[in-house]
Structure 1
Amino acid sequence: MEKFIVTPKEDKSVTMTIRIDRALQEEYNDLAAKTNRSRNELISMALQYALDHMELKDE
């Protein structure tokens, strides 16, 4: 008989607090409602997109 093996969950997420404009929060609330995704998930996706497409310029 094969065993049911459970390994520890690897949690790579952290909690971070930021301050944003209320209007931006409302836009994410609306987007979350329209897409059935959490506001947290959408913001995380947006932050990753920004990093992936960022270009740093020297002054």
Structure 2
Amino acid sequence: MSEDDFIITPKEDKSVTITIRVDRALQEKFDHLSKISNRSRNELINLALEYAMKNAKFIKESNQKR
């Protein structure tokens, strides 16, 4: 290889398509945030999901009384 070679490697596709159902009110909030932030709804949902996964706490037992 020389420094003038145009190197092409296979593209890594890290994303997958999933379908979810959300309340209309939540969808409208994402649409509004998308409009005022100039980001796509998809991008905002991905950011929200990443935040949720980083900050999620799993509790094995419930402290609720029956």
The answer to whether 1:37 aligns with 2:39 is yes
Q: CA RMSD in A?
A: 1.0
**Structure 1 gap ranges (5+):** none
Larger CA Rg, structure 1 vs 2: 2
Deviations 1:7-58 (A, max 9, x none): 1211100000000000100000000111111100100110010000011011
Shift, 1:6, TM fit: 1.6
Q: TM-score, normalised by structure 2?
A: 0.84
Higher relative contact order, structure no. (Cα contacts within 8 Å, ≥ 6 residues apart): 1
Match of 2:8 in 1: 6
The equivalent position to 1:27 in structure 2, one of 26, 29, 33, is 29
Equivalent residues, number: 59
1:51 alignment partner in structure 2: 53
Q: Which segments of structure 1 move beyond 4 Å, counting only runs of 4 or more?
A: none
Structure 2: gaps spanning 5 or more residues: 62-66
